[in-house]
Structure 1
Amino acid sequence: MTIKTAIVDDNSFLISAVKEKLSFFEGVSVKFTAINGSELLELLNENHNLDVILMDIEMPVLNGIEATEIVKQKYPHIKIIMLTVFDNDENIFNAIKAGADGYLLKEVNPEDLHNGIVETLNGGAAMNPSIALKTLKLLRNPIQIQNEKEKEDITLTTRETEVLEQLSKGLSYNSIADNLILSTGTIRKHIENIYKKLQVHNKLEAVQKAKKNNLI
């Protein structure tokens, strides 16, 4: 049986490179290529008799993750393997959430690409080792990725971190003031700033959020 594939990438050079890798294998035929998710959806509208789509992530108009979600809803029989330059955590997490069946890096050699496609069609998941490792980590610690965005926005000063650490030990404002050799008023001001930065309203929330974001 011939494996019917489509390649979606906004870089024509990379489409050619993937086509060339697949040309080594007789059982694979590239039915069409598209330069973004939107073009892919138009082409699928005309013909969705496909087995697998090799999908880039970073594309204009409609990116690979958004396109994957739509394709999976409309044509659940089509397998989707993300082919990307990046193996960053957020992309992996979002691609998996969108329903991607596999995730390979673009520099994958022809044999591994072919094996990945066959494996995915047989119900497995194509993944290169570094991505498999990251996926495991994400599964073990899903909180981390959800807070990746939050984490970037929260920066506490060294002094605020010290105050927060003392606060997490359950110390009173007076004790913290004594320990850090500051006035209680100054401690209050620091705590006010901490609450504002963390967007919380009480000590418990502040400590929980700070721990979640590895601030303390």
Structure 2
Amino acid sequence: MKIKLSIVDDNSFLTKAIKDKLSFFDDISIKWTAMDGSKALTHLEENHNLDIILMDIEMPVLNGIETTQIVKQKYPHIKIVMLTVFDNDENIFQAIQAGADGYLLKEVNPEDLHSGIIETLKGGAAMNPSIAMKTLKLLRNPTSIENLNDKEQISLSKREIEVLEQLSKGLSYTIIADHLFLSPSTVRKHIENIYKKLQVHSKIEAVQKAKKHNLI
């Protein structure tokens, strides 16, 4: 089965560069490309049979963060990896909050791009190391804990916390299932419940919120 992928970027030169990088791998089929978020949404309305989108952040009309939020609400099965030239904090945080599944810099080499795509589809999070470091820093000392009274409302079961802790190590569902002696479908169910309780749409967001509320 080929991986169905799309690229959303307003810079045609960079889109071509990404296409060239992916041309080395015959398990990837590029379905379409779009110059901005609203064009991407039009494509998806016609056909949302897609596995993953590589999404630029800075775009006219509808930027990558707004587009990610809409795509995640309408088509939660589609994974989104942000591609960016910047690794600045604010963008990382906003993209993660919007539900992005991973975050890579545009100058990523073909192998890392391909393995990032595969990792993301397996339920992991593709992340360039410098971005991962920044994200960790942000998680360790979030400048603002949104609302302290949110704290009381979130209660996860012991099992859910165990699953979330494993998830925060970047482990896949199957490995978590092995570690906790559960079936992968039970793990998936726990993760769905965790997302619901924490009101989040992605793994990174769930881990981030749980840490912020000292749940893990």
Q: TM-score, normalised by structure 2?
A: 0.66
Are 1:95 and 2:91 counterparts?
no
Residue of structure 2 in register with 1:122 after alignment: 122
Q: How far is 1:145 from its partner?
A: 10
Q: How far is 1:16 from its partner?
A: 0.4
Structure index of larger Rg = 1
Q: How far is 1:143 from its partner?
A: 1.3
What do residues 92-144 of structure 1 show as CA deviations (whole Å, max 9, x unaligned)?
00000000000000000000000000000000000010000000001111116
Measured in 2, the distance between the counterparts of 1:144 and 1:9 equals 31
Measured in 2, the distance between the counterparts of 1:63 and 1:76 equals 18
Change (3 A) 1:109 1:118: same
Aligned length: 146
Q: How far is 1:45 from its partner?
A: 0.2
Residue of structure 1 in register with 2:42 after alignment: 42
Q: Where do residues 18-33 of structure 1 align in structure 2 (5 Å cutoff)?
A: 18-33=18-33
Higher relative contact order (CA 8 A, sep 6+): 2
Percentage of identical aligned residues: 78
Change (3 A) 1:145 1:37: farther
SS at 2:143 equivalent: helix
Structure 1 gap ranges (5+) = 147-216
SS at 1:123 equivalent: coil
What amino acid does structure 2 have at the position aligned with 1:23?
Answer: S
Measured in 2, the distance between the counterparts of 1:51 and 1:107 equals 22
Change (3 A) 1:28 1:144: same
Preserved contact between residue 89 and residue 145 of structure 1 (Cα < 8 Å): no
Preserved contact between residue 80 and residue 102 of structure 1 (Cα < 8 Å): yes
What do residues 10-58 of structure 1 show as CA deviations (whole Å, max 9, x unaligned)?
0000000000000000000100000000100000000100000000000
Structure 2 gap ranges (5+) = 147-216
Measured in 2, the distance between the counterparts of 1:45 and 1:97 equals 24
Preserved contact between residue 138 and residue 145 of structure 1 (Cα < 8 Å): no
Change (3 A) 1:144 1:5: same
SS at 1:87 equivalent: coil
Measured in 1, the distance between the counterparts of 2:120 and 2:45 equals 23
